């Protein structure tokens, strides 16, 4: 077993631990309903869900736990483009990772306001709109900032390839 096998085993272990640990966090936060009224609890729940989805993505997407050639290229042009853009490019995994980082940023902003503006924090944190924005905004940012990867993937009948620099403009998708 080479280094690639060690990396795949390591990623599989991390994925399983992340899935179980974050599953326990989700269970705890859903069981304690009174915690769900706090901004940081909602953000922790969103972060746990994002990390569970990332763990699932590490198992299901090629190039992490599965080998890069785990899936065959679909036959139809639209399905092949969708496969290359979402699965082969690992767009979902990277977008979820960016989403997690932005959710951590929202947690930091929430704690910063709680420490430096404790009197206005109560008024600020009670609003359901504020909670919704702080939970939803990282999802839009994460998937939006990573969309360039999905848009720059090209394919032909045999393979997918990343065309960041426009080098393959002469290759027409089939």
How many independent structural domains does the chain possess? 1
Token pair, residue 33, equals: 């309903």
Per the rule left: phi > 0, alpha: psi between -120 and 50, beta: everything else, 166 is: left
**CATH number for 128:** 1.20.1070.10
CA separation for the pair 31, 92 (Å, rounded): 29
Residue 168 lies inside a defined structural domain of this protein = no
Residue with tokens 């306001």: 113
Domain span at residue 144 reads 3-162
pLDDT at 59: 84
Residue 42 lies inside a defined structural domain of this protein = yes
Segments of the chain with pLDDT less than 70: 1-4, 36, 124-126, 164-174
Residue 171 lies inside a defined structural domain of this protein = no
Picking from 87, 78, 81, 79, the residue whose alpha carbon sits closest to that of residue 60 is 87
Task: Tally Cβ neighbours within 10 Å of residue 88.
Answer: 23
Model's pTM, two decimal places?
0.81
Residue 172 lies inside a defined structural domain of this protein = no
pLDDT at 160: 82
Residue 63 lies inside a defined structural domain of this protein = yes
Taking only Cα atoms into account, the Rg of the chain, rounded to an integer number of angstroms, comes to 20
Residue 167 lies inside a defined structural domain of this protein = no
Residue 170 lies inside a defined structural domain of this protein = no
CA separation for the pair 56, 45 (Å, rounded): 17
Q: What is the pLDDT of residues 26-59, one digit of tens each?
A: 999 999 877 767 788 889 999 999 999 999 998 8
């Amino acid at each position: 077993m080479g280094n690639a096998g060690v990396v795949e085993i390591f990623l599989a272990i991390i994925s399983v631990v992340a899935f179980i640990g974050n599953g326990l966090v989700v269970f705890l936060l859903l069981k304690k309903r009174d915690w769900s009224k706090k901004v940081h609890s909602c953000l922790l729940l969103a972060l746990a869900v994002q990390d569970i989805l990332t763990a699932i993505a590490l198992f299901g997407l090629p190039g992490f736990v599965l080998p890069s050639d785990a899936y065959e290229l679909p036959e139809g042009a639209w399905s092949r483009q969708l496969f290359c853009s979402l699965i082969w490019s690992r767009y979902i995994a990277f977008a979820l990772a960016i989403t997690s980082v932005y959710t951590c940023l929202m947690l930091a902003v929430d704690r910063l306001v709680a420490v430096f503006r404790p009197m206005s924090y109560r008024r600020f944190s009670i609003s359901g709109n504020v909670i919704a924005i702080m939970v939803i905004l990282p999802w839009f940012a994460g998937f939006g900032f990573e969309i360039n990867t999905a848009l720059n993937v090209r394919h032909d009948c045999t393979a997918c390839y990343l065309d960041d620099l426009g080098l393959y403009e002469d290759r027409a998708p089939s």
